[in-house]
A and B are shown apart, each in its own frame.
Chain A
Amino acid sequence: MQSLIEKIRQGSFSDFPGGIRPQQFKELSNQSPVSRLPLPEKLFIPVKQHIGVEGQIKVAIGDKVSKGEALTQSMNPFAVPVHASTSGEITAITEHVSAHPSGLPEMTIELTPDGEEHWAELTPMLDYRQQPKTKVLEAICQAGISGLGGAGFPTHIKVTPKKDIEFLIINGVECEPYISADDRLMREHSWQIRQGIDILCHLLNPKYVLIAIEDNKPQAINAMKVACQENPDYIICSIPTKYPAGGEKQLIQVLTDREVPYNGLPVDVGIVMQNVATCYAIADAIFTGKPLLQRVVTLTGKALQKPGNVWGLLGTPVSHLLDHAGYTPGKRKKLIMGGPMMGFELASPEIPVVKITNCILAPDDKEMPEAADEQPCIRCSACADACPAELLPQQLFWHAQAKELDKAKDYNLFDCIECGACAYVCPSKIPLVHYYRIAKAEIRTEEDEKQKADKARERFEFRKQRLEQEKAEREARHQRASEARKAAMDKDGGDSRARVAATLARAKAKQNSDQSSTEATDKVAAAVARAKAKRQATQKSAPEPHQTDNTEQDDKAAKVAAAVARAKAKKQATQKSAPEPNQTDSTEQNDKAAKVAAAVARAKAKKQATQQRAPESTQTDSNEQDDKAARIAAAVARAKEKKNKRSIDKPEPEQTHQDIDTPMITADNDKKQKVAAAIARAKAKKALKDNNSS
């Protein structure tokens, strides 16, 4: 370990594989100090300017805001707020073309500056060493600081590591051609950058701090050396100029000879890397309390008469910056945000400066001619030699072109840092990086869709299960109900039947015993009694006094007769089991018989009822008839509707008059009309369907 640090101190570094040495063009813009521009007419501050999630907007249109006031807030740890870059009025919260290769509109807060530049209340934290680390981190987060190097990762997350940090690397390499923003910043504000490094050291406790600067920026190296001379643990590393030495993984390899593992982070090898501009912003946030409102933007390219670096307020439209740099557009009016290697073409000059905007490149037509026609790959493998990630670009290209995404993934497509070195060296002028970007996007979309499909399957299966369960429950309920009904019926019916049977048996038994004992003696009496009983039964309204007479005459005979009569009446009643009014008469005669009859009637009624319920299925046949009826009804409705329409058409003037008079009624009418419209639409649809089917 000691040897590694000694090696670094001596200035002997490792190297990363591949890489290219394009012409630098840095002298175009790095000659003059960073200048300030007048306020633009309007600022467009996108709500989301970094990797992560956006916060909720907490201002409304018409609000007056002070400079540095937070415009969004969020509880999500991956969200950092955006702030008002100057004082003024919120004039719109709407979608505005975004600083993204697609130029798709994104939610943006439009701020009209009032020119007063009055600050919101600032809370500096000069005694940060006495404060708990979480409070310092909170201050960094609330200042809206995200990585200013290019990716825009929220800084407060990056500086809350879970592991011990050996090296804190400050990235001032700035390896891309044309860009000189970090160079100028280091030359002019090296002290403040060092203050930012102090704060990071307080948070991370690294063993060593390596400040890496490419050797093509000697003035910046000197400035940083002067600023850091008091602290022996801050080592300024002047590394050889080679693109892309400023890439996170490449720089780690150059300085420490360590490789960040696949799918891993620098923290896994004990390293945290921060950009110099981020250090500057952190110092601003802690020592003055100012949130991140501006950044150095390099304006360069041969289409500009006055290239240079400017302090760009976040939200300033690119066109405003270009106006002050003497922009004379060529025929193609090409504008690039970022460097020529990794930047993207701007969809519109109205795109605002955001936290990751380090350069606006305005090349003239000669500088960057129209892309030459792509030619077939000749398998020269120049790209493989240039690749800093040791991938096989020609194979990746092959599979990306054939849409064999799985195979492209097998060739570690996601390790590609999209530096563009392969495309730069390609003799066939193949835009390799774009193929990789498309392939990456497609793989991401596919994975996204797969996830969605899995979710949909889960929901579908859950729904199926739920429906089945509901069906089973319904069936169980029906079964229970029918069983209960059956049981009730059985109880009722069984009772009455048993009673009937019992009485019949009793009657028969009596008859039998009578017949056997008094056959001989009282045949006549029995016949008379039977006749009488018959008469009684047929008359059905036989008064009891008659019977009392009989009893006087002959007890036994009367008893027999009565029994027979009763039995017969019962028999009749049960056979009839019919209209109760008739039976009411017999009730007087015989209570028991009536009861039996009633019970039977009830049972029968129940049976009928269940039978009626059962043949529901047969009703489907009648549905056809119903359909016809419905169709007729629909036709009639349609006719009516037409008629209505005609009649409505006529008296419209009158109606409008009414409308003015009685707004209350119109509201009511509105509803009615809506309902009517809905019904009419439904009917029309049905009619259409009917027509189609017939």
Chain B
Amino acid sequence: MSVLVALIAIGALALVFGLILGYAAVRFKVKSDPLVDQIDAILPQTQCGQCGYPGCRPYAQAIAEGDEINKCPPGGEATIRHLADLMGVEAKPLDSAHGEEDNKKVAYIREDECIGCTKCIQACPVDAIVGASKQMHTVLIEECTGCDLCVDPCPVDCIDMVPLKPTVSSWRWQLNSIPVRNVE
């Protein structure tokens, strides 16, 4: 008898909790995975596709689903470290199959060779190239992410990837000290 009471009680509880959980699942449903957003915020947004995914967000999705975190050459070590922190996994060196970490570059169009085909404009993921059909195109350096995607479509090979020159504001201190010593 007591066994029956126990079974009924437990069953009733299970039913109640199940209903609550079911309702909560519907009521508090999260449309997009917040983890993907967090990962996407860490990725450098060059949209270069070197990771093998068509942009940063798809790669973020893939990482959330368990892909490796070391496939992003533009982000480099810093990005891997941040991703490792976020995902709670061990940071590992960059997977060289996807490219090497490089100095930041921007695209440069040799303007007298440009034939105005607009192919690079279509390829640019961040609309950093301005120009019109049969007019010379040029790159907005401020907006260029250095993703490389415009280089291949160019039929006359007039786009170079130029490393950014360090400026006074982007320059980094080197370790050379200026010590002062008491002279005896």
Contact of A434 with B176 at beta-carbon distance under 8 Å, contacts A104-B167, A454-B45, A681-B156 already known: yes
- Indicate if the CB atoms of A102 and B178 lie closer than 8 Å: no
Q: A334: nearest residue on chain B (CB-CB)?
A: B178
B2 within 8 A of A: no
7 tightest Cβ-Cβ pairs between the two chains A and B: A431-B177, A340-B180, A456-B45, A682-B155, A453-B45, A102-B171, A437-B173
Give Cα distance in the complex from A418 to B113, angstroms: 50
What are the residues of chain B within 8 A of A344 when measuring CB–CB?
178
What are the residues of chain B within 8 A of A455 when measuring CB–CB?
143
Choose one: B44, B127, B178; the contact of A463 (CB below 8 Å): B127
Quick one: which of B111-127 are within 8 Å of A by CB? Answer: 112-113, 115, 125-127
- Indicate if the CB atoms of A341 and B180 lie closer than 8 Å: yes
Count of chain B residues near A, Cβ 8 A: 39
Q: A366: nearest residue on chain B (CB-CB)?
A: B183
Give Cα distance in the complex from A72 to B166, angstroms: 24
- Indicate if the CB atoms of B55 and A460 lie closer than 8 Å: yes
- Indicate if the CB atoms of A445 and B172 lie closer than 8 Å: yes
Can you give 26 contacting A-B residue pairs, CB < 8 Å? A23-B182, A100-B171, A102-B166, A104-B168, A340-B178, A343-B178, A367-B181, A368-B180, A369-B179, A435-B175, A437-B173, A438-B172, A452-B45, A453-B45, A456-B44, A456-B45, A457-B40, A459-B128, A674-B113, A678-B113, A678-B155, A681-B155, A681-B157, A682-B155, A685-B157, A686-B155
- Indicate if the CB atoms of A423 and B173 lie closer than 8 Å: no
What are the residues of chain B within 8 A of A457 when measuring CB–CB?
40, 45, 56
- Indicate if the CB atoms of B126 and A456 lie closer than 8 Å: yes
Q: Mask for A451-488, Cβ within 8 A of B = 1, else 0?
A: 01111110110110000000000000000000000000
Give Cα distance in the complex from A367 to B81, angstroms: 43
What are the residues of chain B within 8 A of A459 when measuring CB–CB?
126-128, 143
Give Cα distance in the complex from A344 to B178, angstroms: 7
Choose one: B44, B174, B177, B182; the contact of A453 (CB below 8 Å): B44
Give Cα distance in the complex from A100 to B172, angstroms: 12
- Indicate if the CB atoms of B180 and A460 lie closer than 8 Å: no
- Indicate if the CB atoms of B181 and A456 lie closer than 8 Å: no
- Indicate if the CB atoms of A367 and B173 lie closer than 8 Å: no
CB distance from A150 to the nearest CB of B (A): 15
Contact of A460 with B125 at beta-carbon distance under 8 Å, contacts A434-B176, A678-B156, A681-B157 already known: yes
A22 within 8 A of B: yes
Contact of A104 with B127 at beta-carbon distance under 8 Å, contacts A22-B180, A369-B181 already known: no
CB distance from B77 to the nearest CB of A (A): 9
A371 within 8 A of B: yes
Quick one: which of A328-360 are within 8 Å of B by CB? Answer: 336, 340-341, 343-345
Quick one: which of A664-682 are within 8 Å of B by CB? Answer: 674-675, 678, 681-682
What are the residues of chain A within 8 A of B81 when measuring CB–CB?
403
- Indicate if the CB atoms of A456 and B178 lie closer than 8 Å: no
Give Cα distance in the complex from A106 to B179, angstroms: 27
Choose one: A23, A106, A438; the contact of B173 (CB below 8 Å): A438
B145 within 8 A of A: yes
What are the residues of chain B within 8 A of A23 when measuring CB–CB?
182-183
Q: A448: nearest residue on chain B (CB-CB)?
A: B170
B89 within 8 A of A: no
Q: B40: nearest residue on chain A (CB-CB)?
A: A457
- Indicate if the CB atoms of B155 and A685 lie closer than 8 Å: yes
A62 within 8 A of B: no
Choose one: B126, B156, B179; the contact of A460 (CB below 8 Å): B126
Give Cα distance in the complex from A340 to B178, angstroms: 7
Q: How many of chain A's residues touch chain B, expressed as a range?
A: 35 or more
Choose one: A102, A177, A403, A423; the contact of B179 (CB below 8 Å): A423
Q: B177: nearest residue on chain A (CB-CB)?
A: A431
What are the residues of chain A within 8 A of B180 when measuring CB–CB?
22, 177, 340-341, 368, 424
A133 within 8 A of B: no
A101 within 8 A of B: yes
Interface centre among B40, B178, B182 (most CB of A within 10 A): B178
Choose one: A104, A429, A435; the contact of B171 (CB below 8 Å): A104
- Indicate if the CB atoms of A368 and B179 lie closer than 8 Å: yes
Quick one: which of B16-54 are within 8 Å of A by CB? Answer: 40, 43-47
CB distance from B107 to the nearest CB of A (A): 14
What are the residues of chain A within 8 A of B157 when measuring CB–CB?
681, 685
Q: B166: nearest residue on chain A (CB-CB)?
A: A104
CB within 8 Å of B: which residues of A? 22-23, 98, 100-102, 104, 106, 177, 336, 340-341, 343-345, 366-369, 371-372, 403, 423-424, 429, 431, 433-435, 437-438, 441-442, 445-446, 448-449, 452-457, 459-460, 462-463, 674-675, 678, 681-682, 685-686
Given contacts A344-B178, A434-B176, A449-B44, 10 further A-B contacts (CB under 8 A): A22-B180, A101-B173, A102-B168, A102-B171, A104-B171, A368-B180, A434-B173, A434-B174, A456-B46, A457-B45
- Indicate if the CB atoms of A441 and B155 lie closer than 8 Å: no
Give Cα distance in the complex from A343 to B115, angstroms: 52
What are the residues of chain B within 8 A of A371 when measuring CB–CB?
176-177, 179
B78 within 8 A of A: yes
- Indicate if the CB atoms of A367 and B183 lie closer than 8 Å: yes
Give Cα distance in the complex from A586 to B126, angstroms: 66
Give Cα distance in the complex from A431 to B179, angstroms: 8
Choose one: B168, B170, B179; the contact of A98 (CB below 8 Å): B168
What are the residues of chain B within 8 A of A102 when measuring CB–CB?
166, 168, 171
CB distance from B162 to the nearest CB of A (A): 17
CB distance from A359 to the nearest CB of B (A): 13
Choose one: A98, A403, A434; the contact of B175 (CB below 8 Å): A434
What are the residues of chain B within 8 A of A336 when measuring CB–CB?
178
What are the residues of chain A within 8 A of B40 when measuring CB–CB?
457
What are the residues of chain A within 8 A of B183 when measuring CB–CB?
23, 366-367
What are the residues of chain B within 8 A of A678 when measuring CB–CB?
113, 115, 155-156
Quick one: which of B93-121 are within 8 Å of A by CB? Answer: 112-113, 115
Q: A457: nearest residue on chain B (CB-CB)?
A: B45
Give Cα distance in the complex from A534 to B157, angstroms: 75
What are the residues of chain A within 8 A of B56 when measuring CB–CB?
457, 460
- Indicate if the CB atoms of B182 and A22 lie closer than 8 Å: yes
What are the residues of chain B within 8 A of A460 when measuring CB–CB?
45, 47, 55-56, 125-126
What are the residues of chain A within 8 A of B155 when measuring CB–CB?
678, 681-682, 685-686
Quick one: which of B53-78 are within 8 Å of A by CB? Answer: 55-56, 78
Contact of A445 with B170 at beta-carbon distance under 8 Å, contacts A456-B126, A457-B45, A681-B156 already known: yes
What are the residues of chain B within 8 A of A340 when measuring CB–CB?
178, 180
What are the residues of chain B within 8 A of A675 when measuring CB–CB?
115
